[in-house]
Structure 1
Amino acid sequence: MRVTSSALLALSISSLAAMAQAEEMSQAFVPTEVKTGASSQSEASGFVEGQSLGGTTRNWYANELKRNNGRFTYNDHGVEKTTPRRINWVQGTIIDYSSGFTQGTVGFKTQVAAYNAIALDRDVGDIAGKNNRTLTHSDGDAVGQWSKLGLANLQARVSNTTLVVGRQNFSSPTIDVIGNRALPSSFQGVGLHSEEFNNLSFDAGSFDRVSPRTEQGLKKFRSEYSDSAKVTTDRASVAGLNYQPFKSLKTSLYATHVEDFWNQYYFGAVHDLGDNAVLGLNTNLNYYKTIDTGSKAMGDINNDTFSLAFGLTHQAHTVTLSYQQVIGDEYFDYLHETNGIYLANSLLSDFNGPNEKSVQLAYSINMAQYGVPGLKFNAYHARGFDIDGTKYKGTAYDVKKMDGEDHSEYSIGTSYAIQSGPLKATAIRATYTTHRASKFQSDGNINEFRVVTTIPFNIL
């Protein structure tokens, strides 16, 4: 797997062959123009007339087993215990009310969403850890049932531009809602989204608190990979744009300021070529630049991280080869309780160790081509190597023992989305993943089996 340059060259050559055979994807230039015709606000139906009430309920189950003598440590009513296995089983339900926008030049609406979680497995020995995936009391017992306001905001809209104030969902490459548990996270602050042009949109946001996936209250932001959870920041702000210069090319450019942590810059590009019915090529580039700022609460940071992925699709089949590299003596880091990592090899492990290189080979098949719409299968193998934190001079990350560390990850999965009937759009996904690591690689040796069922519903 270390012959990455040769592998990428071989895939590029095969991609050029694909281009010669199929050029159905238009490469036409898209001129930037102000949107004409009716705007989103001009079509507002009214505060009551446009209201909706619905949500989702998610059954979330994960069974983890540490290998090679690894152990989970947990508190059982004041007694510290260890176990190789951890099981979490939670039912998460969201009831989401949104009014319609009022009519007029400036429209107003409100959104309120109640989040509720029920612990289906409440055994202290199964949960094996505080608030990791099941909310717990200080003695280790599960909180059997709990609720909170996940969303609560006011929105104002002019034309195709919307301002949101309060607890909200927000999506960008550096601050993004993460929804991989029974309930998602959300952010408290101000967000803006504008689509006044046909191929150019803008986003901006400034947030001072995050509502964690498995907690009831609001928290200050902290780093995902810091060696201390006590190091927090008072504010995270982001601004950026999405631009589609060609029908086949989409780009993104974002800048983020995390107070006293870092300034982080992101560039992304996705290009499609060919015809998937014959042979299509998808190229995906992600690049992050992270530099310390302010009081440098996370220490000195100067980090460049990128991923480049090539996906070849023929009808139902897609094969993807991804290369990722971290250039810096610390982790590529992002904010905890966010999905602010759009790198190709962010899997069960993020493959983001200091100076780490990683390669992933993935395969997926869409069974709609064979008469079973909604059914998909996928598998991947990823390997990270050359992890080196020996030159790190800060104190925020525990990486100094990492000297030539490596690790690998294998996964198989299947998903099915119901196509019709009262349970239409219900999604069921099952995955089995194994991760194996050298002595000082932080993710360790673990197997995980996960089953997640999500059922959407409408009340109003």
Structure 2
Amino acid sequence: MKLSSKALLALAISSITATAYAETQSQDFVPTTLAATSAQGEAKGFIEDFSLGGTTRNWYSHESKYRGGTFAYQKHGQTLTDRNRTNWVQGTILNASSGFTQGTVGVKTEVAVYNALVLDRSKRDIKGGSNRTLADSNGDAVDQWSKLGLANVQFRVSNTTLTAGRQNFSSGIVDTIGNRALPSSFQGVSFNSEEFSNLSFQGGVFDRVSPRSEQSLSKFRTEYGNGAETDKVSTLGVNYQPLKSLKTSFFAANVKDFWNQYYFGATHELGDAQQLGLTTGFNYYKTVDEGKKEMGEIDNDTFSLSLGLTHQAHSLTFGYQQVNGNEYFDYLHETNGIYLANSLTSDFNGPNEKSFQIAYAINMAEYGVPGLKFNAYSARGWGIDGTHYTGNNGRAKFAYDGIQSQDGEKHQEYGVGASYAVQSGPLKATAIRATYVEHRGSEFQSDGSIKEFRLVTTIPFNIL
């Protein structure tokens, strides 16, 4: 598929039309000044600001492969296959968090216990579990398990916080991922500094990840690689808002002996959503090999551009994404470190791949049903070409197995979803979301052909 002249014209018209209505969103410059208040100066105390609460999530997924694809599992020493896989898990988080002590240097602790209860324990259904259900070496579900998802101590001076231990972290390269019954977390040391009004700094050094569906800590590895592991991930970045309508961020990361990765992201808003608003998003990643080159030789530039039009309850988004490199655009496993517009069920990140997405969403609050939303999208990727890949760094085993067989591969994905958030009462903020996705790939496209229905209910609760 090629981006036609009509599609390009539609994007241009969308941008021009939104500009014509641009009256409300301020484009004023934001001067950089010291923060008006000190977060530590407002500390209430270690016990006084203590909280105990959490969430419980019912996570159900049914997948079906087609066009010859199958899932495999072991039974009585035999490998059996069929088209379907079902995972059903109840994940609960109990979080105890103190307040910061008062004084120049505040101290705080946070501990969160993660628990998973497997509701579908059939070996045939879970197919070894993958990253959805924890299974033992025989492929049997671990019926119930718990772990410390978070366990850290925090030190704060003014508006700068240092966190040590198991923690959440969010940036364009290293980001906690929460799309299963339980989220991931990272072990290490990080800081967040918000001493200025429109300028903040973040950084961290992590040596282990706590996976979504595992009890133990793991070394970092990549989402698409050959299983090589690393002991150290370091990242540093800045978030800057130069205009009231423009937010930017820049992050760099060193993944020891894998790669150096650089990320730039920008979001700009224009117009009035009650009339016509335009949101433009740009994301760019540069990845180059580093150290021992455990992932082979890498020189990859990947970007996405999205244009979102909003009129009252309705939004229409166009997204274009392109990979310039003979390997996948890759990122760290058990992270959400891919802020590209077309990262969906498929990441649309094949070597030299181009992709285009159209998405529509409606917010029913405008029609008297607050909390209810619907969405639909269609995405296509084309031009996948791994035939020029030579990045095995002289090793017998390629970092990205099978990539050289991808010659002109293409794929498409469709999805629909509905979500509802309870607005009041004892279940306030409870979120229910149902999605159906269908993905179809050509012969050597890595994601294959699969359909998935997912139903997720998340209920927050407060004890103290």
TM-score (norm 2): 0.97
In structure 1, runs of 5+ residues without a counterpart are none
Cα distance change on mapping 1:167 and 1:275 into 2, 3 Å: same
Q: How does 1:449-460 map to 2 (within 5 A)?
A: 449-460=453-464
Please say if 1:408 is aligned against 2:415.
no
Provide, for residues 172-217 of structure 1, a one-character-per-residue CA deviation record: whole Å limited to 9, x for no partner.
0000000000000000000111110000011001100000000000
Aligned partner of 1:370: which letter? Y
Q: How does 1:84-163 map to 2 (within 5 A)?
A: 84-163=83-162
Match among 452, 457, 463 for residue 448 of structure 1: 452
Measured after TM superposition, the shift of residue 77 of structure 1 is 4.5
CA distance in 2, matches of 1:132, 1:375: 29
The alignment partner of 1:400 has SS state of: helix
Aligned partner of 1:457: which letter? F
Match of 1:397 in 2: 400
In structure 2, runs of 5+ residues without a counterpart are 392-397
Please say if 1:253 is aligned against 2:256.
no
Measured after TM superposition, the shift of residue 83 of structure 1 is 1.4
Match of 1:8 in 2: 8
- The answer on whether the counterparts of 2:21 and 2:277 sit within 8 Å (CA) in structure 1 is no
CA distance in 2, matches of 1:150, 1:77: 35
Measured after TM superposition, the shift of residue 76 of structure 1 is 2.5
Q: How does 1:220-231 map to 2 (within 5 A)?
A: 220-226=219-225, 228-229=226-227, 231=228
Please say if 1:164 is aligned against 2:163.
yes
Provide, for residues 108-141 of structure 1, a one-character-per-residue CA deviation record: whole Å limited to 9, x for no partner.
0100000000000000000012443111111111
Aligned partner of 1:148: which letter? K
Aligned partner of 2:420: which letter? Y
- The answer on whether the counterparts of 1:254 and 1:266 sit within 8 Å (CA) in structure 2 is yes
Match of 1:367 in 2: 364
CA distance in 1, matches of 2:239, 2:409: 37
- Which range moved further: 179-188 or 391-400? 391-400
Please say if 1:238 is aligned against 2:219.
no
Measured after TM superposition, the shift of residue 23 of structure 1 is 1.8
CA distance in 2, matches of 1:8, 1:149: 50
Match of 1:212 in 2: 211
Match among 275, 286, 294 for residue 272 of structure 2: 275
- Which range moved further: 76-85 or 390-399? 76-85
Match among 425, 433, 439 for residue 437 of structure 2: 433
CA distance in 2, matches of 1:186, 1:54: 18
The alignment partner of 1:232 has SS state of: coil
The alignment partner of 2:19 has SS state of: helix
CA distance in 2, matches of 1:2, 1:456: 45
Measured after TM superposition, the shift of residue 272 of structure 1 is 0.2
CA distance in 2, matches of 1:266, 1:8: 26
Q: How does 1:347-362 map to 2 (within 5 A)?
A: 347-362=344-359
Measured after TM superposition, the shift of residue 21 of structure 1 is 2.5
Cα distance change on mapping 1:130 and 1:90 into 2, 3 Å: closer
Provide, for residues 293-325 of structure 1, a one-character-per-residue CA deviation record: whole Å limited to 9, x for no partner.
000000000000000000000000000000000
- The answer on whether the counterparts of 2:72 and 2:80 sit within 8 Å (CA) in structure 1 is yes
CA distance in 2, matches of 1:8, 1:430: 32
CA distance in 1, matches of 2:130, 2:450: 19
Aligned partner of 1:340: which letter? G
Match of 1:335 in 2: 332
Aligned partner of 2:414: which letter? Y
- The answer on whether the counterparts of 2:87 and 2:129 sit within 8 Å (CA) in structure 1 is no
Match among 300, 304, 315 for residue 303 of structure 1: 300
Match of 2:282 in 1: 285
Measured after TM superposition, the shift of residue 22 of structure 1 is 3.1
Provide, for residues 331-371 of structure 1, a one-character-per-residue CA deviation record: whole Å limited to 9, x for no partner.
00000000000000000000000000000000000000000
CA distance in 2, matches of 1:366, 1:14: 20
Aligned partner of 2:416: which letter? I
- The answer on whether the counterparts of 1:72 and 1:129 sit within 8 Å (CA) in structure 2 is no
- The answer on whether the counterparts of 1:4 and 1:323 sit within 8 Å (CA) in structure 2 is no
Determine what percentage of the aligned residue pairs are the same residue: 69
Measured after TM superposition, the shift of residue 4 of structure 1 is 4.9
Cα distance change on mapping 1:152 and 1:4 into 2, 3 Å: farther
Provide, for residues 66-103 of structure 1, a one-character-per-residue CA deviation record: whole Å limited to 9, x for no partner.
00121001223532111110000000000000001000
CA distance in 2, matches of 1:185, 1:413: 24
Provide, for residues 234-293 of structure 1, a one-character-per-residue CA deviation record: whole Å limited to 9, x for no partner.
101110011000000000000000000000000000000000000000000000000000
CA distance in 1, matches of 2:55, 2:10: 44
Match of 2:394 in 1: none
Measured after TM superposition, the shift of residue 10 of structure 1 is 2.6
Match of 2:373 in 1: 376
Please say if 1:264 is aligned against 2:261.
yes
CA distance in 1, matches of 2:198, 2:369: 35
- The answer on whether the counterparts of 1:305 and 1:332 sit within 8 Å (CA) in structure 2 is yes
CA distance in 1, matches of 2:80, 2:270: 55
The alignment partner of 1:193 has SS state of: strand
Cα RMSD (Å) of the superposition? 0.9
- The answer on whether the counterparts of 1:77 and 1:140 sit within 8 Å (CA) in structure 2 is no
